[in-house]
Structure 1
């Protein structure tokens, strides 16, 4: 069984009984949900990092609210909590390959992903990274491509983290863009997309402006 993210997101978007933060917490639990075990088990430190908070009390409050409203069930397992979804556990039947056999363990099946997720994965990111980038970029592929080109050009060691940073600072970066003369011959795209041409920027000028040297 695999999780149906599209149905899940559509369901919580329409649920007026959930606050914005509760919806996000529920989405985190769904994201970490292990369908084989029947529960999620992210630690408080992981949930705090995903919620971008240093307050353990905030995480605890959101979890208790979801329990009270009947969305999750919390059980103690050793030193960790396990979280069982009571609502919106949308699952897909196991997909099969063209030969009629189940895909190999860990193999991503195309039907499990949205079109946008597939496009981001084709850029070289993992499924989880693609979902995270799309969430931050508000499903705008052009933002991700622009940020990826910036990260690649700067020679970033961790392309995913640098791309994520660039998306979060996209307005600051845009304001420092300076067009350069375009080379119309021998163009070789930096991304795996072949249906459009990425813009070119004067990155030396960009870096100087970000550092306040220009």
Structure 2
């Protein structure tokens, strides 16, 4: 074995002394034989919303965006989740904020806004226009991004006409912009006392698990 090592060393010395062209060919052959570098950079899922996304009243790791990221990590999918939720956010405020948020690369955009508009009785047409403006800005900046809309409803005390008109704008915008749709983010959580905090609006940690599942049912097909 020692003789073989001496022979290999001598051969390499001879190759190295045979001129630059041979050496360059050898380096090229070695480089070509190496495995391609694996791209480990993860794509970004941006969830843009209000206190429901921000996880008001629960720990950050208990909010539904964090639960979704845990799910993605467990499956080994090449995505990370950015929680861009801001408590109290209306669609008008979101429209003003989205340009700054889009400074980071977005591969999947999940829009969760409108609940605060509904609770304040903001005209449905205004909410619809603001949501469309947000979508337009995302599409202009990242035309290849996949888009998801989360639907929302308002309580009946806002008036039957308003509640009806409000609930349909999310599907309307989703259809218009070829967005996947989560029909109602708070499905199986809204109006269930044990799954909501004392304010009756914001989900508990258990409630957020259901929100995560509601979103995941749509998101998994997009990914």
User: TM-score over 0.5 for the alignment?
Assistant: no
Higher strand content, 1 or 2: 2
Larger radius of gyration: 2
Richer in helix (by share): 2
